[in-house]
Amino acid sequence: MPIQSINPATGALLRSFTPLTNEALLQKIALAESAFARTTEVPLAHRALCMNKLAHLLDRETADLAALITSEMGKPIAQSRAEIAKCAAACRFYAVNAARILAPEPIDAPPLDAIVRWDPLGVILAVMPWNFPFWQVFRFLAPALMAGNVGLLKHASNVPQCALAIEALVRRAGFPRGSFQTLLIEASQVEMVLADQRVAAVTVTGSESAGRAIAAQAGWLIKKSVLELGGSDPFIVMPSASLDTAIAAAVAARCINSGQSCIAAKRFLIADSIYDEFESRFVAAMDAIKVGDPTREDTQIGPLATTAQLDEIEAQVAAAIHAGARLLAGGERMIGTGNYYAPTVLAGLPRTAPVYREEVFGPVAMLFRFTDIDEAIAIANDTPFGLAASVWTANRDEQRRFSAALQCGAVFFNAQVASDPRLPFGGVKRSGYGRELSAAGMREFLNAKTVVTAEPGPTP
Ligand code: NAP
C-alpha cells in the first residue's frame, strides 16, 4: 500500500510514497546504530548548539512548515504556526536544561561513595500520530537527542511529508548523520523494527490498539516502552467559577486542533446550580465557531484529518443519540468537499452507553450535571482513561480534594490543560504509562546507573 499525503480540506492527493523494503529498513537501523556510537562522543555542549540551531531553523521556516502541517492534516494555519513555535521552545528548553538533568547525582548513603549516572539507552523507536505532526515528534526528539540517544520515527501514514521535513531539519541542525531518521513504513513493519536487537526501546503516542500491540511485543522482548494514548478528559465547573472565563475556555478546550487532541476536554461536568446557564451559553458559543478553510487566518475549526476520522465521529454521535443523549448543536457532517464536521453538543448521555467509554476525537462536547463534589469526582473518574482534568473553582478546599481524588496524570485549576516542556506529561489507566517532557520525560530513556566506588585498598 502506498503511503499517501492527502489534503483533508480538498481531498487532493499531494504526494505518494512507496514504503521502505525490509532491506532498506535494515540499512537505516544499521545507520542508527553507528550514529549512536558517534553521538556518545559528541560533547553535550555541542549537542546543545545543534539543538539551538534546530530551534532557529524552526523559527525561520515557520511559515513553510506550518503550511505543510495544514495541507497534510487540516490544522487551522494559526494553530500550525503555534505548533512550530512550541517545538522551538522545547528544543531551547532541553538545550539549556540537559546539563542539569543529566548531571550525575551524588547519593547520600554512608559509608558508600555512590552516584547515579544518567546514560543513554541507544536507538529508540518512536511511533507517532498525525494530530500534532511536529509537536508529538519534537517532544520525543529534543530530550532524546540531547541525552545522546538516537531516534527512528514511524510517523502516522497520512503525514509523510511532515515526517521527512523533521528528519531534514535535524540533519541541517548539525546532528551526526543517522541521529534521527524517518522510516516510511507501514504499521505492520513496526514489529520487525522493534524486534531488531539494535533497537533498545520504544515510545508510542496514539490509540489504545496501537499502544497495546506495541507494548505487548516490547514486554515480550523486555524492552522499555512509554505509552501516551487516548483521553476523555473531564472539564469540571463548580459554582464558585467565573462563568465567562470558564465558558470561553471550555469552547477552546473542546475545539483545539478541530477537536483532535488527546488532552482536549471531552466531558463537561457542570454543577447543578449553574448548569442551565452554562448549557445555553456554551451551546451558543459552539454554534458561533468558524468552521472552514484551514488556510484562512480566522478559521477556528478545519476539516478532520481523514475520512475515516469523519466516519467515526459520525457513527459515535449517532450512537450517543440512539443511547438517549439530547442533541443541542451540530450533529452532522457539513455539505461540500472536505472532511468537515459541525461543532456538536450532546447532553445527558447515559453513562451506561458504550460510546461514553470511548474517546471522541472531534469537535463533540458531552455535558453532564452533578449535584456535589462527590458526584463530580465520581463522574470524572468513571472512564477507562486518565490523562488530565481541568477544574474550575475558586475554593482552595475543593482544589485540594480534586487534586488528590482525580485519577489522571495532571490537574489544571482555572486553566485549560496544556503540555509544556517544563512539566511532566502523561497519563494513568488506559491513557498509558511513563512521562514525556521535563526531566521526567528525558529520564524515561536513560539508564539510571548506580556507581559505587570504594577505596582501592593497599596495592600489592
Ligand atoms: P493510531 O491509529 O494508533 O496511530 C498512531 C501511530 O501508530 C501511527 O503511526 C500508526 O501508523 C501506528 N500504528 C497503529 N496501529 C499500529 C500497530 N498495530 N502496530 C504498530 N503501529 C501502529 O492513532 P492516531 O489515530 O494516529 O492518533 C490518535 C490517537 O492518538 C488518539 O487516541 C489520541 O488520543 C492519541 N494521542 C495521545 C497523545 C498523548 O500524549 N497521550 C497525544 C496525541 C494523540 P499508521 O498511521 O500507519 O496506521
* pLDDT score at 456: 83
How many degrees, rounded to 5, is the angle at CA 383 between CA 268 and CA 387? 80
Nearest alpha carbon, ligand 1 atom 41: 228
Looking only at the bridges linking them, the beta strands covering 112-120 and 446-452 are antiparallel
Q: E-assigned strands of 357-445?
A: 364-370, 388-392, 410-413, 432-433
Which ranges in the chain are annotated with CATH 3.40.309.10? 233-413
* pLDDT score at 415: 98
Nearest alpha carbon, ligand 1 atom 35: 206
What phi-psi label fits residue 148: left (phi over 0), alpha (psi between -120 and 50 degrees) or beta? Answer: left
Distance (angstroms) between ligand 1 centre and the Cα of 453 equals 45
Distance (angstroms) between ligand 1 centre and the Cα of 460 equals 61
Task: Count how many Cα atoms sit within 13 Å of the Cα of residue 289 in the half-sphere of its side chain.
Answer: 34
202 lines ligand 1 (CB under 6 A): no
Say whether 262 is catalytic: yes
Nearest alpha carbon, ligand 1 atom 15: 210
* pLDDT score at 1: 87
* pLDDT score at 457: 84
Kindly name the residue from 50, 87, 162, 262 that is annotated as catalytic: 262
Which ranges in the chain are annotated with CATH 3.40.605.10? 3-229+431-451
3-state SS assignment for residue 167: helix
361 lines ligand 1 (CB under 6 A): yes
190 lines ligand 1 (CB under 6 A): yes
Q: Name residues of the chain where pLDDT drops below 70.
A: none
262 lines ligand 1 (CB under 6 A): yes
Q: pLDDT digits over 35-89, tens only?
A: 999 988 899 999 999 999 999 999 999 999 999 999 999 999 999 999 999 999 9
Q: Which atom of ligand 1 is nearest to the CA of 3?
A: 47
CA distances (Å), origin 153, targets 179, 184, 300 = 11, 8, 30
Q: pLDDT digits over 284-314, tens only?
A: 999 999 999 999 999 999 999 999 999 999 9
Average pLDDT, the chain: 97
127 lines ligand 1 (CB under 6 A): yes
Those residues whose C-beta lies under 8 Å from the C-beta of residue 333, and which sit 6 or more positions away, are 310, 314, 339, 340, 341, 342
* pLDDT score at 210: 98
Q: Which atom of ligand 1 is nearest to the CA of 211?
A: 3
Nearest alpha carbon, ligand 1 atom 43: 262
* pLDDT score at 49: 98
Q: Which atom of ligand 1 is nearest to the CA of 186?
A: 47
Kindly name the residue from 228, 359, 436, 444 that is annotated as catalytic: 228
Distance (angstroms) between ligand 1 centre and the Cα of 135 equals 14
Query: Percent of the chain, pLDDT > 90?
Result: 97
Nearest to 124 by CA among 147, 153, 89, 96: 153
**What pTM was computed for the model?**
0.97
Distance (angstroms) between ligand 1 centre and the Cα of 120 equals 25
Based on the number of CB atoms within 10 Å of its own CB, is 90 exposed (0-12), middle (13-18) or buried (19 or more)? buried
Distance (angstroms) between ligand 1 centre and the Cα of 196 equals 21
Q: Which atom of ligand 1 is nearest to the CA of 309?
A: 25
Distance CA 383, CA 257 (A): 22
3-state SS, one letter per residue, for 86-106? HHHHHHHHHHHHHHHHHCCEE
Q: What is the CATH number that goes with domain 3-229+431-451?
A: 3.40.605.10
Say whether 228 is catalytic: yes
User: Domain 233-413 is in which class?
Assistant: alpha beta
CB distance 268 to 368 below 8 Å: yes
